[in-house]
Amino acid sequence: MSTEDSNSRNSYSKDADTTTAAAPAADSGVSQQIRDIAEVPAVEVITTGAVHLMSAAAVKVGLADDPNAEDLTDLDEARKLITALAGLVTAAAPEIGSQHAGPLRDGLRSLQLAFREASLIPDAPGKGPGEKFTGPVN
């Protein structure tokens, strides 16, 4: 190995040492987060995600408990959120069991009905948000 190669490696190592000095602190935080999430059962992760989608969709449909709820309504956004929720609930139901899936399905259905009521031009049966996963909602 030439002296030039050795010097370039040493200077690189010095630079690497200064950048990695802060990395163990950041890595330990990430490692702790990984350990924390590893301890959470999958059913909790799935239901938490579903509840976040449900809450966001409720606001976008105009169901927010706020005097300005009408200003927060955005049916295009609500459609996307409800469809994502329907896909998640439908796919996850066999894995999380009826004990957890039942309330999520009920909330989803309520959102689908609220969307239908809020729409000026109603979707055809089976064409509403998430109905490709749940079937028509009446």
Give pLDDT tens digits along the chain (138 positions). 445 444 444 444 444 444 555 566 678 889 888 888 899 999 999 999 999 999 999 999 999 998 988 999 999 999 999 999 999 999 999 999 999 999 999 999 999 999 999 999 999 999 999 999 999 998
| 1 shares its domain with 62 | no
Domain range for 26:
1-34
pLDDT score recorded for residue 63? 95
Contact 61/74 with Cβ under 8 angstroms? no
How far, in Å, CA of 114 to CA of 102, rounded? 18
pTM: 0.77
Residue ranges of the alpha helices (H) in the chain? 3-21, 23-38, 42-61, 69-72, 75-96, 98-118, 131-134
| 29 shares its domain with 44 | no
| 48 shares its domain with 89 | yes
